[in-house]
Chain A
Amino acid sequence: MATVTFDKATRIYPGGEKPAVDGLDIEVGDGEFLVLVGPSGCGKSTSLRMLAGLEDVNAGAIRIGERDVTHLPPKDRDIAMVFQNYALYPHMTVADNMGFALKIAGVNKAEIRKRVEEAAKILDLTEYLARKPKALSGGQRQRVAMGRAIVREPQVFLMDEPLSNLDAKLRVQTRTQIASLQRRLGVTTVYVTHDQVEAMTMGDRVAVLKDGLLQQVDSPRNMYDKPANLFVAGFIGSPAMNLIEVPIVDGGVKFGNALVNVERDAVQAAADKGDRTVTVGVRPEHFDIVNGESEGKSLSKDAPAGLAVTVNVVEELGADGYVYGSAKVGDEDKDVVIRVGGRAIPEKGSVLHVVPRAGETHVFATSSGERLSD
């Protein structure tokens, strides 16, 4: 078992100016499950491949435990990797695939068999040990790839989007299996995905990357509750957080026809930077519908309180529903997503008045994207 440290690790592809991974600084604890997440091209896979030794490190260092592995070849790093397309050896049986690394390492046959059978048992592969990969289903191949990693008993597991090739239902199922397997084995794991749901559900901590730059590393809960900037706010959560640019007024920010209290410090900080607006983020489930009732703090008496949202589309999911509507903020129409109860689905074309729930708003500086509220 070991920790993994990225110490200002940087990767610049030959011929490129801009680093694919720029000064990545992450410390992964012993036995921790860290998920690297971000849109495609953000450098998450490159980071993982740097850790695997499949990609050079141009600056900075990578350490596994106390060992500096920056320039070690992959085989000397004591890691195992699960590839997106599994990369099973097509000409070998499942058992040979899983035991290949041990065979190269010169482990004796009885020991290899014992370890392969143990892993097969954990992964429910015992009856397939004699088969070739092509005679297996996608989910089974995925488990063989996992098995190949487990058998080696490495210090670190690396997983590069291992669930992307599975169908939706199997993906959800396998997600839980991998997470529980990792907890059971207690092996430090770095997991790459573009799917923020996977990131949120599997990781002990989540690291969000964008354009090769680390945006935030935090537990899934904190990532959701306190996104560090506009990008993380928009990326984490499904449907995405509503991000609305609103003008700063005395005592808070003007949100449609309502005044929303935000922390004085936050607004002050924005004003100090010369911004006249801030971007307020509200998650779909944090809107309260205030139709007709005047409990909100109306700015003008003759119009109902809150932000008027015209319903365009309603997604009914059973337990609840998502309203996709548009609202006039300032002079432009903004798309807004609101979660409503499953028994109170509004009609298409109707108008809802909503106010953000107190204490559940996020305030970001419009210019820098930094989080202002606490």
Chain B
Amino acid sequence: MRHGKYRFIIGFLAIPLALYGVLVISPFVQDFQISLTDWTGLTPDKHYIGFENYRKIIHNHLFWQSLWHNVLLLLIVPVVTLALGLFFAFMLNVGGRRKGSASVAGVWGSGGYKIIFFFPQVLSVAVIAILWQQIYNPDPDEGLLNVLLKGVGIGGQTWLGDPKLALACIMAVMVWANVGFYVVLFSAGMASIPTEIYEASLLDGANRSTTFFRVTLPLLADTVATGWVYMGIIAMDAFAYVQLMSVNDGGPNEKTDVVPLLLFKTAFRDNSQYGLAAAMGVAMLIVTLVFAALTLRLARRDRLEF
């Protein structure tokens, strides 16, 4: 059997590796090739212009602003989403007051809350974006938020039309849309922690916050790290949310522009600068790789056993 081993391994690896090469690696290579040309994407002529596109990007104020927005999303959205997800999951599973038989239980009605939290997850991004556009509607008689504000006697906002608020508004929607998934993910993680460990911490005199920070959170570290990677990827993209919700695609005043949207506009609208857009893609790839490497580096730790 021994000499047949490699044939066996190669037999299984060949197809997936070939698919990976054609569908994943080759577009990257192609993207890099295109980024070195002045191709418009519409005509067959293509001229090699070296790193001219990269020079343009470096001097493009809009690119840096968009990248900064991505970085903001990357810093804020995962932190808020994961923190809220952890908090809700903790309250739903172990944060409740003791009642009846269980010494460790969630708050009252936690089963129902779980469904409500998960609800946004089943809606598509397009539906969510339209829904929130209506909520953010600046009309004082139609926009849900402004009607509510008027009800308590505060003047309305323009929300997505306000350069200072627009990005925060979009971030809030991204958090809202994703938090439910993490409530469910972290609930599953918490359910796998044996009840005795919570009981032991109760006997050791831990209150809710001590239990959360000293016991639950360290035991969930692996799950949180996984969630961080997913959320990071969503934040790096953000294309759909911004494209659908922002005024004038990344407006007002490009205050909500993100790199993927800028890339899209560059490639398909603004004079079809396909080569330039490809260079942005390469830049984005580098940023993503750095993020992934950092996350995996920080998340590397001993596996816990119960």
Q: Are B205 and A87 in contact (CB under 8 A)?
A: no
The answer to whether residues A75 and B304 also contact, given A13-B101, A14-B101, A87-B194 and a CB cut-off of 8 A, is no
Q: Are B103 and A100 in contact (CB under 8 A)?
A: no
A168 at the A/B interface (Cβ < 8 Å)?
Answer: no
Q: Restricting to B188-202, which residues have a CB under 8 Å from any CB of A?
A: 194, 196-197, 199-202
Q: Are B305 and A52 in contact (CB under 8 A)?
A: no
Q: Are A87 and B101 in contact (CB under 8 A)?
A: no
Q: Are A75 and B205 in contact (CB under 8 A)?
A: yes
Give Cα A55 to B203, complex, Å.
12
Q: Are A90 and B103 in contact (CB under 8 A)?
A: no
A112 at the A/B interface (Cβ < 8 Å)?
Answer: no
Q: Are A89 and B215 in contact (CB under 8 A)?
A: yes
B204 at the A/B interface (Cβ < 8 Å)?
Answer: yes
Q: Are A90 and B304 in contact (CB under 8 A)?
A: yes
B200 to chain A: closest residue by CB: A87
Name which of A53, A87, A101 has the most chain B CB atoms within 10 A of its CB: A87
A96 to chain B: closest residue by CB: B214
B26 to chain A, nearest CB (A): 43
Q: How many of chain A's residues touch chain B, expressed as a range?
A: 20 to 34
List, in ascending order, chain B residues with CB within 8 A of A55's CB: 101, 103
A91 at the A/B interface (Cβ < 8 Å)?
Answer: yes
List, in ascending order, chain A residues with CB within 8 A of B219's CB: 90-91
Q: A76-84, A271-279, A358-366: which one contacts chain B?
A: A76-84
A132 to chain B, nearest CB (A): 7
Give Cα A299 to B204, complex, Å.
67
The secondary-structure label for the interface of chain A is: loop
Give Cα A105 to B203, complex, Å.
12
Q: Restricting to A98-120, which residues have a CB under 8 Å from any CB of B?
A: 100-101, 104-105
B305 contacts which of A53, A73, A90, A101 (Cβ < 8 Å)?
A90
Q: How many of chain B's residues touch chain A, expressed as a range?
A: 20 to 34
Q: Are B203 and A75 in contact (CB under 8 A)?
A: yes
Q: Are B196 and A85 in contact (CB under 8 A)?
A: yes
List, in ascending order, chain A residues with CB within 8 A of B204's CB: 75, 100-101, 104, 148, 152
Give Cα A316 to B100, complex, Å.
51
A74 at the A/B interface (Cβ < 8 Å)?
Answer: yes
List, in ascending order, chain A residues with CB within 8 A of B103's CB: 49, 53-55, 74
List, in ascending order, chain A residues with CB within 8 A of B214's CB: 100
A67 at the A/B interface (Cβ < 8 Å)?
Answer: no
Q: Are B194 and A85 in contact (CB under 8 A)?
A: yes
A134 at the A/B interface (Cβ < 8 Å)?
Answer: yes
A77 to chain B: closest residue by CB: B203
Give Cα A105 to B210, complex, Å.
11
Give Cα A79 to B98, complex, Å.
19
A81 to chain B: closest residue by CB: B203
The answer to whether residues A79 and B101 also contact, given A87-B194, A89-B215, A91-B219 and a CB cut-off of 8 A, is no
A56 at the A/B interface (Cβ < 8 Å)?
Answer: yes
List, in ascending order, chain A residues with CB within 8 A of B101's CB: 13-14, 55-56
The answer to whether residues A83 and B202 also contact, given A54-B103, A90-B219, A91-B304 and a CB cut-off of 8 A, is no
List, in ascending order, chain B residues with CB within 8 A of A14's CB: 100-101
Give Cα A83 to B100, complex, Å.
21
List, in ascending order, chain B residues with CB within 8 A of A79's CB: 203
A198 to chain B, nearest CB (A): 20
List, in ascending order, chain B residues with CB within 8 A of A52's CB: 199, 203
A130 to chain B, nearest CB (A): 13
A163 to chain B, nearest CB (A): 16
List, in ascending order, chain A residues with CB within 8 A of B205's CB: 75, 101, 104-105
List, in ascending order, chain A residues with CB within 8 A of B203's CB: 52-54, 74-75, 79-81, 101
B206 at the A/B interface (Cβ < 8 Å)?
Answer: yes
Name which of A55, A89, A132 has the most chain B CB atoms within 10 A of its CB: A89
Q: Restricting to B144-202, which residues have a CB under 8 Å from any CB of A?
A: 194, 196-197, 199-202
B45 at the A/B interface (Cβ < 8 Å)?
Answer: no
Give Cα A14 to B105, complex, Å.
15
Give 13 new A-B contacts, CB below 8 A, not counting A49-B103, A74-B199, A75-B205: A14-B101, A56-B98, A56-B101, A73-B98, A81-B203, A87-B197, A90-B306, A91-B218, A100-B214, A104-B204, A104-B205, A132-B302, A148-B200
Q: Contact residues of A with B, CB < 8 Å?
A: 13-14, 49, 52-56, 73-75, 79-81, 83-85, 87-91, 100-101, 104-105, 132-134, 148, 152
Can you list 19 residue pairs at the A/B interface with Cβ under 8 Å? A49-B103, A53-B202, A54-B103, A54-B199, A56-B98, A73-B202, A75-B205, A80-B203, A85-B194, A87-B194, A87-B199, A89-B201, A90-B305, A90-B306, A91-B218, A104-B204, A104-B210, A105-B205, A132-B302
Listed from nearest, the 6 A-B pairs whose CB atoms lie closest are A87-B196, A75-B205, A101-B204, A87-B200, A91-B218, A54-B103
